[in-house]
Amino acid sequence: MPEITPEDIQHAEKLIGIEFTDEEREMMLEGLEDLRRYYQALRGVDYPNDLLPAFRFDPELPGEAHPPIHPPASEIARPPLHRPDDLDDLAFWPVSDLARGLRQGLFTSVELTERYLDRLKRYDPQLHYVITLTEARAMAQARRADEELRSGVDRGPLHGIPWGAKDLLAVRGYPTTWGATPYRDQIIDEDAAVVQRLDEAGAVLVAKLSMGALAWGDVWFGGKTRTPWNTDEGASGSSAGSGAATAAGLVGFSIGTETWGSIVSPSTRNGVTGLRPTFGRVSRHGAMALSWTMDKIGPMCRSAEDCAWVFAAIHGRDDRDPTTVNKPFPWPPDLDGESLRLGYLAADFEKDYRGKENDARALEVFRAMGIELVPIQLPDYPISALQFILFVEAATAFDELTRSNRDDLLVRQVKDAWPNFFRLSRLVPAVEYIQANRVRTRLMAAMRELFQQVDVYIGPSLEGDNLLLTNLTGHPSLTLPTGLADDGLPTTITLTGRLYDEATLLALGRTFQAETDFHLARPPLDGKKSVLK
Can you tell me the distance from the alpha carbon of 450 to that of 26, in angstroms, rounded to the nearest whole number?
Answer: 49
Integer Cα distance of 235 and 329 in angstroms:
31
Q: Are strands 162-166 and 204-209 parallel, antiparallel or unpaired?
A: parallel
Instruction: Find the Cα–Cα–Cα–Cα dihedral 195, 207, 232, 248, rounded to 10°.
Output: -80
Catalytic residue among 254, 262, 267, 425: 262
Distance CA 40, CA 358 (A): 55
Other CB atoms within 10 A of residue 423 CB: 12
Catalytic, out of 109, 210, 236, 238: 238
The sign of the dihedral angle between the CA atoms of 506, 304, 178, 201 is positive
Q: Which amino acid would we find at residue 461?
A: S
Residue 164 DSSP symbol: E
Q: Is 325 helix (H, G, I), strand (E, B) or coil?
A: coil
Angle between helices 430-450 and 466-473 (to 10 degrees): 100
Per residue, the 3-state secondary structure of 451-469, as one string, reads CCCCCEEEEECCCCCHHHH
Q: How many of the other CB atoms lie within 10 Å of CB of 368?
A: 9
- Is 262 part of the annotated catalytic residue set? yes
Query: Which of 109, 166, 239, 461 is an active site residue?
Result: 166
d(CA 8, CA 10): 5
Half-sphere exposure (Cβ direction) of 83: Cα atoms closer than 13 Å: 10
> Active-site positions?
166, 238, 262
